[in-house]
């Protein structure tokens, strides 16, 4: 991606120079070089995506969030998965899956703050529909006021339980967590071997109920 950006910038200067100097051969050379590189880049982008495989994580297995700048310093992991038919006075249409999440950083510099940017957690269904968090049920839990997108430094963590109302017919549900602004998603869609690139397989969490793991 960085080579492409630099190359396209250089191609722009060469194209302007060819127009000023009225060098048609330089313009053709520039357009040809750009075309060859874009074909190569597109092949790499699709090739890595089609070769990727879904990675399924369980309790205590962290997922790293890298983003465009490739700084994979912030992580999220499940600490617990439990089920219930009701939370407070709310009764599930199917079954409530209550998922404990921990967000932490392993950055070397303890003075730099990190956060998940607009974190999104959802259950993807086979027919390409999604199940979003049940915010009304979450509001009844002790961790309701905690923000998954809050700032953390050094050994600080964010720990919160999120809730999904999952129908009984959905077997082996998997949780997908993503983050970033719309512009981040657009850039990462064409970033080679990024999880959010076109057709790339996802890293998901298997929602298999089990005991809570100890805090860090």
CATH of the domain at 106: 2.60.40.1240
For residue 124, the model assigns a pLDDT of 87
**116: in domain:** yes
**103: in domain:** yes
Tell whether pTM > 0.85: no
Q: Within this chain, do residues 191 and 128 fall inside the same structural domain, yes or no?
A: yes
Catalogue the E-assigned strands of the chain: 55-57, 63-65, 74-87, 90-105, 120-124, 130-132, 157-166, 174-178, 203-206
Q: Alpha-carbon distance 119 to 151, whole Å?
A: 12
The mean pLDDT of 50-64, rounded to a whole number, is 95
Rounded to 10°, the helix 24-51/2-21 angle is: 160
Domain stop point among 28, 51, 74: 51
**214: in domain:** no
Mean pLDDT for the chain overall: 89
For residue 216, the model assigns a pLDDT of 46
Closest CA to 116 of 62, 189, 53: 62
Task: Give the total number of structural domains in the chain.
Answer: 2
Q: Within this chain, do residues 108 and 127 fall inside the same structural domain, yes or no?
A: yes
Q: Within this chain, do residues 42 and 63 fall inside the same structural domain, yes or no?
A: no
Read off the pLDDT band of 69 (50, 70, 90).
low
For residue 166, the model assigns a pLDDT of 96
For residue 76, the model assigns a pLDDT of 96
Q: Within this chain, do residues 95 and 170 fall inside the same structural domain, yes or no?
A: yes
**33: in domain:** yes
Domain interval for residue 126: 55-206
For residue 194, the model assigns a pLDDT of 87
**152: in domain:** yes
Read off the pLDDT band of 128 (50, 70, 90).
confident
**216: in domain:** no
Q: Within this chain, do residues 22 and 98 fall inside the same structural domain, yes or no?
A: no
Q: Is the pLDDT of residue 170 over 80?
A: yes
Torsion of CA 172, 63, 98, 179, to 10 degrees: -110
Q: Within this chain, do residues 109 and 194 fall inside the same structural domain, yes or no?
A: yes
Q: Within this chain, do residues 98 and 177 fall inside the same structural domain, yes or no?
A: yes
Q: Is the pLDDT of residue 137 over 70?
A: yes
């Amino acid at each position: 991606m960085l080579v492409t950006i630099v190359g396209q910038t250089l191609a722009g200067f060469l194209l302007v120079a060819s127009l000023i100097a009225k060098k048609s051969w330089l313009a053709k050379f520039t357009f040809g070089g750009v075309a060859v590189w874009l074909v190569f880049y597109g092949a790499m982008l699709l090739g890595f995506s089609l070769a990727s495989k879904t990675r399924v994580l369980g309790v205590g297995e962290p997922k790293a969030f890298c983003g465009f700048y490739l700084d994979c310093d912030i992580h999220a992991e499940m600490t617990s998965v439990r089920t219930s038919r009701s939370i407070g006075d709310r009764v599930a249409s199917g079954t409530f899956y209550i998922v404990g999440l921990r967000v932490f950083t392993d950055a070397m510099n303890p003075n730099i703050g990190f956060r998940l940017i607009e974190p999104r957690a959802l259950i993807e269904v086979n027919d390409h529909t999604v199940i979003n968090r049940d915010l009304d049920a979450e509001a009844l839990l002790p961790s309701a006021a905690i923000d998954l997108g809050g700032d953390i430094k050094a050994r600080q963590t964010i720990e919160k339980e999120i809730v999904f109302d999952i129908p009984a017919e959905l077997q082996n549900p998997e949780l997908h967590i993503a983050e970033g602004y719309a512009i981040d998603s657009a850039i990462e869609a064409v970033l080679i071997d990024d999880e959010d690139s076109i057709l790339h397989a996802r890293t998901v969490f298997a929602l298999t109920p089990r005991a809570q793991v100890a805090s860090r």
